[in-house]
Structure 1
């Protein structure tokens, strides 16, 4: 148990050290690795400069016992008044569907994924925004998901994925 915690801490440290343009990065741990549909983590962050574009990412940590090659998530973007700006269903590919080879960065049986879901997005104005994420799979609870989160990065030519 101590080794898993140490590896998780090391992996988290390595991943957080790479996001120099991140204005926000946060994870929520999934209790007992059982993600219920009713559990929809929310992430609130502040945008100070709405004149620049941002890249928004899902962060996901799962173990190799996760039973599917993909994960469907519904995301909700709301402004500071709670008004919904957008909701969208996204599919994340966690493993190669044919070979089962995991995508992402792995250490032992843990894999971290970072999926772009908004490229060069311009927020309507400065202020606080909330992104809520809900798993949208047929299984409830969804097993072997350890944590989910988001990263908001200021977009620059160097970090704007193609």
Structure 2
């Protein structure tokens, strides 16, 4: 039954279309055990620097995840490997008081999309890499199924 839920979830994700997305990628976390040393990287190309971009964290966790939040450190690097930014962010996965999960759920899996950067302007066209590390005290961190990013052209403000 769990496998069927996962198949349906993947079908929903593939079927849902981000019209402004220039990049969307997930990395599955093996057995839902996210080790600190496992820091997935996502490399994408920006061709148009005249427009701002919104960058999002994508995260999938099971209801068995032990905490209401998740601390992640992100590193943005340009094509030469130069670090443009590193920052620690807290993502709230569940209501701290009620334990009610945030995000979109199917079965015991929940998908989250958190805004990481709003209206970001890349300095020049080219390839960029975003690397994500879990920054919790638990190693491995259990019940995180996948992590990723979405890069979208920001909608023009009216």
* TM-score between the two structures when normalised by the length of structure 2: 0.95
Write the distance in 2 (CA, Å) between the matches of 1:35 and 1:123. 29
Question: CA deviation digits over 1:135-155, x for unaligned, max 9?
Answer: 000000000000000000011
Residues 1:132 and 2:131 are matched in the alignment: yes
Write the distance in 2 (CA, Å) between the matches of 1:76 and 1:9. 31
Kindly state the Cα deviation for residue 47 of structure 1 after the two structures are TM-superposed. Answer: 0.2
Write the distance in 2 (CA, Å) between the matches of 1:73 and 1:65. 19
Residues 1:112 and 2:111 are matched in the alignment: yes
Question: CA deviation digits over 1:101-143, x for unaligned, max 9?
Answer: 0000000100000000100000001000000000000000000
Runs ≥4 in structure 1, deviation > 6 angstroms?
none
Residues 1:66 and 2:72 are matched in the alignment: no
Write the distance in 2 (CA, Å) between the matches of 1:8 and 1:132. 25
* TM-score between the two structures when normalised by the length of structure 1: 0.93
Question: CA deviation digits over 1:56-97, x for unaligned, max 9?
Answer: 000000000000000000000000000000000000000000
**Matched residue SS, 1:55:** strand
- In the other structure, the counterpart of 1:87 is 86
5+ residue gaps, structure 2: none
Write the distance in 1 (CA, Å) between the matches of 2:32 and 2:122. 33
Write the distance in 2 (CA, Å) between the matches of 1:150 and 1:31. 18
- In the other structure, the counterpart of 1:12 is 10
Coordinate RMSD, CA, aligned = 1.4
Kindly state the Cα deviation for residue 19 of structure 1 after the two structures are TM-superposed. Answer: 1.1
- In the other structure, the counterpart of 2:100 is 101
Write the distance in 1 (CA, Å) between the matches of 2:92 and 2:63. 14
How many residue pairs get aligned? The number is 157
- In the other structure, the counterpart of 2:53 is 54
